[in-house]
């Protein structure tokens, strides 16, 4: 058996959506930290499939998962993920982004996660953000993440002796195919069988929306079957 990597003897908080990338990152965290907790944001998603997937996976890997409601995005409208009157489309709008872009979502999630982590004395926050192979969302870029990390560290007044606040994105520069291979390496496949990606909220997934297509492309390029599709047969 290969030697086990020594884990960091502290806790981390995973921003967990029950989707493919955050599930893969959750398993990276389980391999890296001695203690792992999750946080899920209910921001008015079109469907309940995400929270059900997140809870099933958290239960499977035996981590505590805290749910918070963020009603602001529910009221914001204007994007296809929180406004069911808008059909999901990968066509870019006047701002040059698809209508699935929820403005500020990841900035708000990470800021709330950092505030929650602060109350628990946790200074490592793990996110599935990835700037490769993505839909061009500006809040998924490394520059955004680094700037936010600095803002949060300063804004929370985190004492250096307690460690630097870190926003960690293990998949930031990985293609979807590389993410699939890492998921296997990190032991995430059984959890991915319970994950949810489809923008339409369909179970089994619709196979046609941009999120389903991107997921399928990753598994196809990695030469592996998607355990979610295998499970649902």
Q: Which CB sits closer to Zn ion, 112 or 200?
A: 200
Q: Counting Cβ atoms within 10 Å, is residue 174 exposed (0-12), middle (13-18) or buried (19+)?
A: buried
CB of 115 to Zn ion, least distance (A): 32
Q: Which CB sits closer to Zn ion, 12 or 80?
A: 80
Number of residues that bind Zn ion (CB under 5 A): 6
CB count within 10 Å of CB 104 equals 14
Side-chain-side CA neighbours of residue 198 (13 Å): 16
CB of 201 to Zn ion, least distance (A): 8
- By the rule CB under 5 A, 81 interacts with Zn ion: no
CB of 40 to Zn ion, least distance (A): 20
CB of 197 to Zn ion, least distance (A): 7
C-alpha 98/C-alpha 106 separation (Å) is 16
C-alpha pair distances (Å), 59 with each of 53, 54, 66: 10, 9, 12
Q: Binding string, 187-216, against Zn ion, x = CB under 5 A?
A: -----------x-x----xx--x--x----
> DSSP labels for 160-195?
GGG---EEE-TTTT--HHHHHHHHHHTT-HHHHTT-
CB of 114 to Zn ion, least distance (A): 31
Q: Which CB sits closer to Zn ion, 78 or 204?
A: 204
CB of 175 to Zn ion, least distance (A): 20
Q: Which CB sits closer to Zn ion, 168 or 211?
A: 211
Q: Which CB sits closer to Zn ion, 46 or 74?
A: 46
C-alpha pair distances (Å), 215 with each of 38, 91, 152, 207: 23, 18, 31, 9
Site residues, Zn ion (CB under 5 A): 198, 200, 205-206, 209, 212
């Amino acid at each position: 058996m290969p030697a086990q990597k020594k884990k960091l003897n502290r806790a981390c908080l995973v921003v967990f959506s029950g989707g493919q990338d955050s599930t893969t990152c959750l398993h990276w965290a389980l391999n890296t930290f001695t203690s792992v907790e999750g946080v899920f944001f209910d921001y008015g998603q079109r469907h309940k499939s995400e929270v059900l997937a997140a809870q099933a996976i958290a239960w499977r890997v035996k981590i505590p998962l805290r749910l918070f409601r963020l009603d602001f995005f529910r009221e914001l409208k204007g994007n296809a993920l929180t406004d069911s009157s808008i059909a999901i489309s990968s066509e870019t709008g006047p701002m040059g982004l698809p209508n699935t872009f929820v403005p500020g979502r990841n900035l708000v999630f990470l800021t709330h996660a950092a505030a929650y982590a602060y109350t628990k004395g946790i200074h490592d926050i793990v996110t599935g953000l990835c700037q490769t192979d993505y839909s061009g969302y500006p809040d998924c870029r490394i520059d955004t993440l680094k700037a936010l990390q600095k803002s949060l560290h300063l804004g929370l007044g985190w004492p250096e002796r307690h460690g630097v606040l870190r926003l960690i994105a293990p998949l930031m520069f990985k293609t979807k195919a590389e993410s699939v291979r890492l998921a296997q390496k990190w032991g995430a496949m059984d959890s991915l069988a319970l994950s949810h990606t489809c923008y339409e909220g369909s179970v089994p997934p619709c196979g046609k929306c941009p999120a389903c297509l991107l997921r399928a492309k990753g598994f196809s390029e990695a030469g592996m079957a998607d355990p979610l599709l295998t499970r649902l047969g």
